[in-house]
Amino acid sequence: MTKSQPSRPIPPKMGKPPVGGGPPGMGPMIGEKPKQFKATIRELIAYAKQYIPLVMIALVLALVGAILNVVGPDIISDMTNTISSGLATSINLDEIKRLGILLAFMYGFGLLFNYAQGFIMATVTQRITKKMRTDISDKMPRIPLKYFDKTSIGNVLSRVTNDIDTIGQTLNNSLGSLVSGLATFVGALVMMFYTNWIMAISAILSTIIGFAFMSIIMKGSQKYFIAQQMELGMINGHIEETYAGHTIVKAYNGEENAKKVFHDINERLYTNAWKSQFMSGLMMPVMTFVGNFGYVVVCVVGAILVNNDVIQIGTIVAFMMYIRLFTQPLAQLAQAATSMQSTAAASERVFEFLKEEELEDESEKTQKLATAKGDVEFKNVRFGYDEEHTIIKNFSASVKAGQKVAIVGPTGAGKTTLVNLLMRFYEVNGGEISIDGIPIHSLTRENVHDLFCMVLQDTWIFEGTIRENIVFSKENVTDEQVEQACRAVGLHHFIKTLPNGYDTVLNDNANLSTGQKQLITIARAMIENAPLLILDEATSSVDTRTEILIQKAMDELANGRTSFVIAHRLSTIKNADLIIVMKDGDIIETGNHEELLANGGFYAELYNSQFEDAS
Amino acid sequence: MLKIFKYMQRNEWLFVCISVLFIVVQVWLDLKLPDYMAEITTLIQTEGTTTADLLAPGSYMVLCAIGSMMAAMVVGYFAAKVAAGLSRRLRAMVYEKTMMFSMEEINSFSTSSLITRSTNDITQIQLIIAMGLQAIIKAPILATWAIVKISGKSWQWSVATGVSVFVLIILLSIVILFALPKFQVVQKLTDNLNRVSREGLTGLRVIRAYNAEQYQHTKFEKANEQLTATNLFVNRVMAIMMPGMTFIMSGLSVSIYWLGAYIINEANAMNRIQLFSDMVVFSSYAVQVVMAFMMLSMMFIMLPRAAVSAKRILEVLNTKSKITDGSKVEGLPGMVGDVEFRNVDFAYPDTEEPILQNISFTAKKGETVAFIGSTGSGKTTVVNLIPRFYDATSGEILVDGVNVKEYTQEALRNKIGYVSQKAVLFSGTVASNVAYGKNQEEVAQTFLKKAIEIAQAKDFVEEREGQYDSEISQGGTNVSGGQKQRLSIARAIYHHPEIYIFDDSFSALDYKTDRVLRTALKELTVDATTLIVAQRIGTIKDADQIIVLDKGQIVGKGKHKELLKNCPTYIEIAQSQLSKEELEND
């Protein structure tokens, strides 16, 4: 089957993706892995070139902030020693004051620098993500429709939203904490060895033991965590489909079966959920233990050393802080690393989109067709959605200005293909299509589009007022023109009855029927007022009165224009000047109604089938 | 929120009690640690202490640390069990409840809302309970105990700690006051941006045809601009959190030592060593107190979200399904496929406007009854009353001579083969979809193939890889609309019901397939009753009885030709679809 239908709107994804089981930031995050980490990061740096100076400043600030925090304990240690040495006599209060003020300044500046760093990073991240969104939106019109017909809307959408959101969240955390974490870690290490190497080694050893313990748990929990995500996905899928198909489940007494499946998954989910919850819940106590254990080791070793007059008591106080400064960034670094991975994975997809092949540049095309009489000529047109499978083999036809062309065929026959070619949504593989004798590929796409008004089967209405929906991108449209178009399609009276008239906002809960929406798109086409018309008649169910209205409006619109109609209605087909019959992607018959009936071919069969009684 | 706890079982309450016990143990051990520290400090300052003297309190400290970890693990175990257990039970209850709902309740919640309630909201509860059991209970115990321990040491230090807690609360209040409400705004703006992007993608062809790329881009940029501005604000405010907390913690340590120097200096020599070790210990306790408050405030951020989730779950659980089972499993003897409506009225609850008014008709075995009318005329509602998707407001609906309310729902629905307007497929295989609802082990292969053939689905099914066992993805996204519809028709055929209901099931098919299918169906349905809701006159022209509906009332009843003579509404519909000559031909 050829994929030639216009992309139909995909129903909004129901619900949000499930939140992971572990408390945020505690459970082992399953970061998505990018295909090429380094290349993507390099690309990201190049992309964010203009912000590099700012990022540098932020990194310096993070570094300084970290150093200030690391040096702090050393001064507290001095303070303790000053107190301790004065225990027997009297404490040098001036020295204490000096150290206190120094510390106040250091921590004050630490706060300032770290906040400035966070502020800058938040700003840069948001600016980068904004730029990405802008670039994606900017890129969209330059990508051939072929891409969008192949890719699901959800896929593209998730790049604009989820992926960029991920980048926004992770980039913010990762860069800053990577630097400050590293600085704190190294700083604490240096300061520890500088202060006392025996203490330093015992502190490090105790931490390593703690973390070895932790990594075992991490490894063990990963399994359950992944299993939990999987079961969650499965149960959500099952819930979604049985809820959405509720009537069918009921009508066929499928409840028992559905419940059985549900309980099976729910049971498995429970097992994995409590295990992964428990495992990720272990992280906190173990972390605390690592902290406490280090603390105890430092206390005991320190006390022994103090007792043997190797160090002073202040050193223990300092180490009690160092051990915290030393262990804390380890977790922070692990987080930042996962964050970086997610950033890279998300950026990879965004860049992939930004690098998609673009439509051919047309700036050198100078030929312009401001308006057209409306003669359309197909000359030996050859086309296939992919190069190997030619579906339209050799199509020639000539349409005179003002004539009506009906395109008919069973569902899936590829009726929209001709529209795609006329509008240059796709390019022909051979032959040419010309309007008023000028081949359309020698015109810019923009120019071609200007020559057509188009009404598609999927009534595309966006959130905005009725007026905005009708005027759309057209500039300098007066209110009178809008009203006139609505009168012509028979909508004016209805719109007037709405509380806000033409300024009524159309959104999800707007009570507009399908038919009325269709009329709005017809009015939109009227405002566009182009010499040629493409019409995809709706098969969708509208009530008969509206259907008559739509029919009349379409006739009105087709009046005096060369029109191409994807036809479902007999009246359209019968009075068409040319009927193009399509099957399996190809054009199999052309001619007018009488000729085709006389031929007794596929068309005749198709046409007659609608009157035959089922017998 | 609290009401959700009544769904916990007794053994889970036991787990909670045990958890509390272990939390107390844990806090006790945690706070014991600085005590030993004090002992060590005192020992160091005392002349003549040997290394061996130090090892004793040292090993006690290690034991305390291990003990605390063990206690925390036990708590974590029970918390995980309780949280996962409760969420399993809630999920199952919500699911079972929803399965029992009639269309009325489903519509009043909306399907997507029910899905969120059964998935995200429950995950939310699991999270809050797992964390809550560990943090909510622990924080106040820790805070009080630590405060008790440090109070009476020195009021200056207590004041310093109090000030820190105060500053922390201010910091968090700023975040809660300024950033939290903006989170909702961010969510809204994100939705807005998503909407604009989605519009841009679904309307791709229209946008290009109208050269409206710039227009769309401008609109997107506006949404982008707004989102970025709000995000900037939120992230800039949130950036104060971590540095702020570090500052408070470090500041508190400094204050305690700084104050300590003065306090010790003023004390007499006797108390000095004692005070000194108090000071070292106090800083540890103070940090614990601040931590406890931090935990508590985090909870205040999380609780409202969980409370909303709990409320939404309870709403589902507290809703009663309006439709209850009867007890009969069989109709009157000798009656098969008989459907009768007697003066049936129907209105949605809480609405004045009746959807259906005084509907009466009879359909007998072998007959085809068709319903036609404009959108909103109530034709779908009529057929939805038969399998009791809704119950009639007044009047009676009889199937095989028995009121539908007297049947068990299962027995009633076993008589009916229902094909909905929007074809529904489930993830599985072609076979599992067609045989849906039946015990899958007893799938009769020959009849399955026959049903698929009659539904004109044989060709495309046999072209698929795996044929009758080929995969159908969730929502049937890997088959086309027409194919979906044909498979759902095959499902009805496979169940060889007494009564077929086709709710506008042929509109996704082209004319030709429509006709071939109906011809094939005709043979099959000679001993069944067929009810068809249709848009196309062509589909129903040959029905034994056509019922024309307008605004919920029957405005015409009869055969095609009769109606063409005496029913203006029918004539109007016919004229919009068939040309004059074709009408005259008939």
**Rounded mean pLDDT of B531-537?**
80
Is B99 within 8 Å of A458 when comparing Cβ atoms? no
| Among A234, A247, A527, the residue to mutate for chain B (most B Cβ within 10 A) | A247
Which two three-digit tokens encode residue B18? 């045990």
Shortest CA gap B398–chain A (Å): 17
Measured between CB atoms, which of A119, A252, A299 is closest to B495?
A: A252
Give the residue among B139, B183, B138, B173 at the shortest CA–CA distance from B305.
Answer: B183
pLDDT digits (tens, 9 = 90+) for B435-469: 787 655 566 777 777 778 777 777 777 776 777 77
Task: Please report, for chain B, how many H helices and E strands are present, in that order.
Answer: 23, 12
Q: Note whether A241 and A15 are within 8 A (CB).
A: no
Is B69 within 8 Å of A288 when comparing Cβ atoms? yes
Please report the pLDDT score of residue B229 as a whole number.
92
Shortest CA gap B40–chain A (Å): 7
Dist. CA B126–CA B132, nearest whole Å: 10
**Rounded mean pLDDT of B344-357?**
75
Shortest CA gap B147–chain A (Å): 20
Please report the pLDDT score of residue A131 as a whole number.
92
Please report the pLDDT score of residue A530 as a whole number.
83
**Rounded mean pLDDT of A228-249?**
79
Is B99 within 8 Å of A259 when comparing Cβ atoms? yes
Chain B hits for A242, CB-CB cut-off 8 Å, are: 99, 426
Shortest CA gap A375–chain B (Å): 19
Any alpha helices (H) in B362-499, and if so which ranges?
A: 379-385, 409-414, 430-434, 445-454, 458-463, 481-494
CB proximity A7 to B under 8 Å: yes
Chain A hits for B112, CB-CB cut-off 8 Å, are: 12, 14-15
Chain B hits for A614, CB-CB cut-off 8 Å, are: 515, 518-519, 521-522, 542
pLDDT digits (tens, 9 = 90+) for B400-437: 888 878 888 777 888 888 888 777 777 777 777 777 87
The pLDDT of residue A213 is above 50: yes
In chain A, the residue whose alpha carbon lies closest to the alpha carbon of B463 is A1
pLDDT band at A14 (very low <50, low <70, confident <90, very high): very low
Chain B hits for A255, CB-CB cut-off 8 Å, are: 99-100
Which two three-digit tokens encode residue B390? 């809704």
Measured between CB atoms, which of A7, A93, A299 is closest to B40?
A: A299
Please report the pLDDT score of residue A5 as a whole number.
36
**Rounded mean pLDDT of B31-40?**
79
Dihedral sign computed on CA atoms, order A447, A448, A453, A455: negative
The pLDDT of residue A60 is above 50: yes
Among A12-26, A77-91, A329-343, B188-202, the least confident range: A12-26
Please report the pLDDT score of residue B352 as a whole number.
63
pLDDT band at A23 (very low <50, low <70, confident <90, very high): very low
Q: Note whether B412 and B499 are within 8 A (CB).
A: no
Measured between CB atoms, which of B202, B420, B482 is closest to A153?
A: B202
Dist. CA A252–CA A308, nearest whole Å: 85
Among A147-161, B370-384, B466-480, the least confident range: B466-480
Measured between CB atoms, which of B87, B224, B425 is closest to A134?
A: B224
**Please, which contacts does A388-393 make with residues 24 or more away whose CB atoms are closer than 8 Å?**
A389/A2, A390/A429, A391/A2, A391/A417, A391/A584, A391/A585, A391/A586, A392/A417, A392/A585, A392/A586, A392/A587, A393/A586
Reported residue count of chain A is: 615
Dist. CA A307–CA A312, nearest whole Å: 9
The pLDDT of residue A372 is above 50: yes
| Gyration radius of chain A's alpha carbons | 35
Q: What is the ipTM of this complex?
A: 0.78
Dist. CA B503–CA B419, nearest whole Å: 6
pLDDT band at A610 (very low <50, low <70, confident <90, very high): low
Among A68-72, A172-176, A434-438, the least confident range: A172-176
Give the residue among A382, A431, A334 at the shortest CA–CA distance from A585.
Answer: A382
Shortest CA gap B20–chain A (Å): 16
Higher pLDDT, A20 or B292: B292
Give all domains of chain B, ordered by start, each with its CATH number.
2-317 (1.20.1560.10), 325-415+501-514+525-586 (3.40.50.300), 421-496 (3.40.50.300)
The pLDDT of residue B58 is above 70: yes
Higher pLDDT, A541 or A159: A159
**Rounded mean pLDDT of A483-489?**
84
CB proximity A258 to B under 8 Å: yes
Shortest CA gap A146–chain B (Å): 11
Work out the angle at residue B265's Cα, subtended by the Cα atoms of residues B263 and B270, and round it to the nearest 5 degrees.
95
CA distances from B457 to B445, B453, B462, B463 (A): 15, 6, 9, 10
Which two three-digit tokens encode residue B184? 């909702």
Please report the pLDDT score of residue B360 as a whole number.
81
Q: Note whether A73 and A107 are within 8 A (CB).
A: no
Dist. CA B156–CA B151, nearest whole Å: 10
Dist. CA B469–CA B432, nearest whole Å: 8
Work out the angle at residue A230's Cα, subtended by the Cα atoms of residues A224 and A232, and round it to the nearest 5 degrees.
100
Is B50 within 8 Å of A473 when comparing Cβ atoms? no
Give the residue among A589, A466, A593, A569 at the shortest CA–CA distance from A524.
Answer: A466
The pLDDT of residue B493 is above 80: yes
Which two three-digit tokens encode residue B103? 């269309």
Chain B hits for A82, CB-CB cut-off 8 Å, are: 261
pLDDT digits (tens, 9 = 90+) for B551-580: 778 888 888 778 777 877 777 777 666 654
| Gyration radius of chain B's alpha carbons | 36
Helix (H) or strand (E) holding A383: strand A376-383
Sequence-distant (≥ 6) Cβ neighbours of residue A373 within 8 angstroms:
A401, A436, A531
CB proximity A14 to B under 8 Å: yes
pLDDT band at A609 (very low <50, low <70, confident <90, very high): low
The DSSP output letter for A560 is T
Measured between CB atoms, which of A250, A295, A543 is closest to B413?
A: A250
Q: Residue with structure tokens 């405030």?
A: B297
Higher pLDDT, A2 or B218: B218
The pLDDT of residue B134 is above 60: yes
Q: Note whether B136 and B299 are within 8 A (CB).
A: yes
Any alpha helices (H) in B365-480, and if so which ranges?
A: 379-385, 409-414, 430-434, 445-454, 458-463
Beta strand A430-435 pairing with A464-465: unpaired
Among A175-179, B52-56, B242-246, B267-271, which range has the highest average pLDDT? B242-246
Is A126 within 8 Å of B77 when comparing Cβ atoms? no
| Among A75, A128, A253, A324, the residue to mutate for chain B (most B Cβ within 10 A) | A253
The pLDDT of residue A1 is above 50: no
Q: What one-letter code names the amino acid at A238?
A: H
Domain at A376-609: CATH code: 3.40.50.300
Is B130 within 8 Å of A281 when comparing Cβ atoms? yes
Please report the pLDDT score of residue A569 as a whole number.
67
In chain A, the residue whose alpha carbon lies closest to the alpha carbon of B78 is A278
In chain A, the residue whose alpha carbon lies closest to the alpha carbon of B244 is A111
**Which residues between 342 and 371 in chain A have a beta carbon less than 8 angstroms from any beta carbon of chain B?**
none
Q: Note whether A502 and A466 are within 8 A (CB).
A: yes
Dist. CA A444–CA A454, nearest whole Å: 18
CB proximity A598 to B under 8 Å: no
Please report the pLDDT score of residue A30 as a whole number.
44
**Rounded mean pLDDT of A186-214?**
82
Is B211 within 8 Å of A140 when comparing Cβ atoms? no
> Which CATH code of 3.50.50.60, 3.40.50.620, 1.20.1560.10, 3.30.1360.200 fits the domain covering A35-195+331-357?
1.20.1560.10
Q: Note whether A199 and A302 are within 8 A (CB).
A: yes
Percent of chain B with pLDDT over 90: 1
Measured between CB atoms, which of A7, A125, A251 is closest to B387?
A: A251
Measure the N-to-C terminal CA separation of chain A; round to a whole number of Å: 31
**Rounded mean pLDDT of B499-521?**
76
In chain B, the residue whose alpha carbon lies closest to the alpha carbon of A611 is B538
Give the residue among B436, B168, B466, B346 at the shortest CA–CA distance from A256.
Answer: B436
Please report the pLDDT score of residue A26 as a whole number.
34
Higher pLDDT, A548 or A189: A189
Measured between CB atoms, which of B73, B418, B474 is closest to A251?
A: B418
Is B436 within 8 Å of A252 when comparing Cβ atoms? yes
Give the residue among B140, B162, B187 at the shortest CA–CA distance from B305.
Answer: B187
Measure the N-to-C terminal CA separation of chain B; round to a whole number of Å: 67
The pLDDT of residue A573 is above 50: yes
Dist. CA A124–CA A59, nearest whole Å: 12
The pLDDT of residue A514 is above 80: no
Shortest CA gap A224–chain B (Å): 13
Measured between CB atoms, which of B103, B250, B425 is closest to A247?
A: B103
CB proximity A511 to B under 8 Å: no
CA distances from A118 to A171, A341, B235 (A): 11, 20, 9
The pLDDT of residue B235 is above 80: yes
Work out the angle at residue B103's Cα, subtended by the Cα atoms of residues B98 and B107, and round it to the nearest 5 degrees.
85
| Among A107, A136, A147, A518, the residue to mutate for chain B (most B Cβ within 10 A) | A107
Where are the domains positioned within chain A? 35-195+331-357, 197-310, 376-609
Percent of chain A with pLDDT over 90: 1
**Rounded mean pLDDT of A102-117?**
89
Sequence-distant (≥ 6) Cβ neighbours of residue A69 within 8 angstroms:
A107, A110, A184, A187, A325, B246, B250
CB proximity A604 to B under 8 Å: no
In chain B, the residue whose alpha carbon lies closest to the alpha carbon of A104 is B251
Chain B hits for A241, CB-CB cut-off 8 Å, are: 426-427, 474-475
Measured between CB atoms, which of A115, A472, A534 is closest to B239?
A: A115
Percent of chain A with pLDDT over 70: 89
Shortest CA gap A39–chain B (Å): 27
CB proximity A509 to B under 8 Å: no
pLDDT digits (tens, 9 = 90+) for B289-326: 777 877 777 777 677 777 878 888 888 888 887 777 77
pLDDT band at A216 (very low <50, low <70, confident <90, very high): confident
Among A251-255, A353-357, B42-46, which range has the highest average pLDDT? A353-357
pLDDT band at B60 (very low <50, low <70, confident <90, very high): confident
Dist. CA A235–CA A241, nearest whole Å: 10
**Rounded mean pLDDT of A334-347?**
78
* String of DSSP letters for B116-179: HHHTHHHHHHHHHHHHHHHHTTHHHHHHHHHHHHHTTT-HHHHHHHHHHHHHHHHHHHHIIIII
Measured between CB atoms, which of A239, A248, A473 is closest to B118?
A: A239
Is A282 within 8 Å of B76 when comparing Cβ atoms? yes
pLDDT band at B490 (very low <50, low <70, confident <90, very high): confident
Shortest CA gap A68–chain B (Å): 11
Shortest CA gap A7–chain B (Å): 7
Shortest CA gap B44–chain A (Å): 6
CB proximity A144 to B under 8 Å: no
Which two three-digit tokens encode residue B217? 């881009």
The pLDDT of residue A17 is above 50: no
